[in-house]
Chains A and B, each alone.
Chain A
Amino acid sequence: MSVTLFWTGFFVITSFALYIGIAIASRVGSTDEFYVAGHHVPPVFNGMATAADWMSAASFLSMAGLIAFSGYDGSVFLMGWTGGYVLLALLLAPYLRRFGKFTVPDFIGDRYYSDTARVVAVICAIFVSFTYIAGQMQGVGIAFSRFLEIPIEAGVVIGGLVVLMYATLGGMKGITYTQVAQYCVMIFAFMTPAIFISLQLTGSPVPQLGFVGNVSDGTPLLVKLDGMLTELGFAPYTDGSKSTFDVFAITLALMAGTAGLPHVIVRFFTVPKAADARKSAGWALLFIGILYLTAPAVAVFARTNFIETVNESVYDAETTALVVGESETPDWFHRWETTGLLAFEDRNGDGRIQYRADPETNEVTTLNRDIFVLANPEIANLPGWVIGLVVAGGIAAALSTAAGLLLVISSSISHDLCRKVLFKSMTDSQELLIARLSATGAVLIAILAGIYPPGFVASVVALAFGLAAASFFPAILLGIFWQRMSKEGAIAGMVTGLGVTGAYILTYKIFGWIPNDAEHWFLGVSPEGFGTIGMVISFAVSVTVSLLTPAPPAEVRELVERIRAP
């Protein structure tokens, strides 16, 4: 373990030094640079930064494990979190870039000629970003505490201070170039163990292809896994348990939510032209795709390895004699048991682990899906430095997302609330000072949220996507493609979308007023997929109210004409 500790410390400290170095090199002195890096970021770099911004601790640490244990059902994350980029590139990003300002509430406020609309957008942006950032800080703290033997609180504070340093010094410019570095760290960290495991299981050095590869006896890996699972009483991996309609709704909610998340949209304000915004969305999805095409492969490898090495293994070779053909439970299983995330109970007293679908006979009583990406290097018997690298990658994923969210919070307060609504006569340098102060305030709140996580953090991620899908996405889309959309329509649409989606998710996931299962869901749609229904309602309300209220003034029609013209 000490070798692992050394390498983990080495990678984490080196990567932090790199991020701070970049921050010092990219200090900024104007709001233009602070909010959108002066619109000077080349499309490829913006693509890389967007990928890091977008892929959070959840994408890096949890997604592969989640897919491993949900099989086909896990596809909603793969399609949902990538398909949104098609919507962004085709429907939103180029037009918002041509609009040419700084923030998402900026567009809503100008397009809907209304400070009320702007304030509604500010509230949505801040709410969505805070729900997200708490999870990131918590991820940093957990990575620190488990691998560097530092208390979780200290880990959260250290991570928060590093983000604070580069976000306040360099604003969007500092964040962009640190995100480029963080992307490189995280993709290297994700791919290294994946490549080795793919070689061990399928002989293919390209894990994305190992997914459809064959194991040593020539059977396709997925066929083998399906066979093993059915034998143990599980449903086949390639089959799902969710209803088709629910899978459809969740996928659409995640796609529209992705396209409507302010910290993602704002990345496309940083490139020089609208054409660059399109190209840069392509690069972003390519860079994201490297990880997202590997994750389903890692998921299959992890589930296969788990069954092969753990099931029917002899738990303690000192007390139970091995029969020919049997093997011992691997060391990593015992190590993760001490964390409480994995537990074994020898129900039939045979000294061997039986992993089964049936809760009566299953002896793996606790199995936390989040451990798989972190445990993968150990499962594959890789050297200690690989584990250190994976930890640094997980921290990079969390910090890069946290920084992007922080900037949304700070610019919403300093630019949209203070400059545009409360104190219209503010100077540029005063605004910059407020931006830095609000970033500092937001980090402090995020640190507190990371140390004392509100119990509902995990479930509010669904809320963040649902709210973005049901508020920002319809308002921005109709704002560009339907000139007739009026301010009353936009405000009514955003407020109903938020209200309906928020109320549904709160009812089922946070307060539990109605049991959270398919029988009690509206139309059989889970809270995760309800953003789709909220979005449809928001569209309908926006259109109806717009048609009943006066058309937007001539300047707004000109604004729409302008952002559409090449």
Chain B
Amino acid sequence: MAQDKSSARKAYWRANLGLMGVLLAIWFTVSFGFGILLRPWLDLVSLGGAPLGFWFAQQGSILTFIVLIFYYAWAMNRLEARFADRLGSDDMPDPGAPAATQEDAS
């Protein structure tokens, strides 16, 4: 049982890291990529008068960031629900857990 829990934790953490990796790659691409490094090429195309690279630097990246965070929040809730039965967070036999309560902290 404990074995199962520890492997479930590892699987959960790996899934989380994988998701983060993809989202951070998008984060990097829209801002540092489209908005900065690839701008000379993107600027050849224009969007409503705004060269595309310039638009990504001033508006497009921000819009993407908002979507990324909401997607991550949603995907993590789904991931946690999927692992919930294998990883009950309430009955964690973790010695570190009690120190987490606010009473202990203050």
Contacts and interface: CB of A to CB of B under 8 A. Distances in A.
A293 B100 contact: no
Contacts of A56: none
A426 B66 CA distance: 43
Question: Which of B46, B73, B89 is the most central at the interface, judged by chain A CB atoms within 10 Å of its CB?
Answer: B73
Interface in A196-214: 208, 211-214
Interface in A216-252: 219-224, 238, 244, 247-248, 251-252
Interface size class of B (residues with CB under 8 A): 35 or more
B97 interface: yes
Contacts of B62: 78-79, 82, 285, 289, 292-293
Given A72-B57, A289-B63, A238 B69 contact: no
Interface stretch (A168-176, A184-192, A273-281, A390-398): A273-281
A99 interface: yes
A369 interface: no
Contacts of B31: 79, 83, 251
Interface in A374-431: 428, 431
Interface stretch (A4-12, A86-94, A485-493, A507-515): A86-94
Nearest to A223: B49
Nearest to A84: B65
Contacts of B59: 78, 208, 211, 293, 296
Contact of B83 (A82, A247, A555, A566): A566
Contact of B12 (A106, A293, A566): A566
A212 B72 contact: no
Interface residues of A, number: 62
Contacts of A90: 20, 23-24, 69, 72
A564 interface: yes
Question: Which of B66, B84, B87, B102 is the most central at the interface, judged by chain A CB atoms within 10 Å of its CB?
Answer: B66
Contacts of B70: 279, 282, 286
Nearest to B23: A90
B1 interface: no
A275 B12 CA distance: 15
A251 B50 contact: no
Contacts of A248: 32, 36-37
14 contacts: A78-B61, A83-B27, A86-B68, A89-B73, A90-B20, A221-B49, A238-B50, A278-B72, A278-B73, A278-B76, A285-B65, A431-B106, A561-B9, A562-B97
Given A72-B57, A211-B48, A212-B50, 5 more contacts: A82-B65, A212-B49, A251-B31, A275-B80, A282-B72
Interface of B: 9, 12-13, 20, 23-24, 27, 31-32, 35-37, 43, 46-51, 54-55, 57-59, 61-63, 65-66, 68-70, 72-73, 76-77, 79-80, 83-84, 87, 89, 92, 94-97, 99-102, 105-106
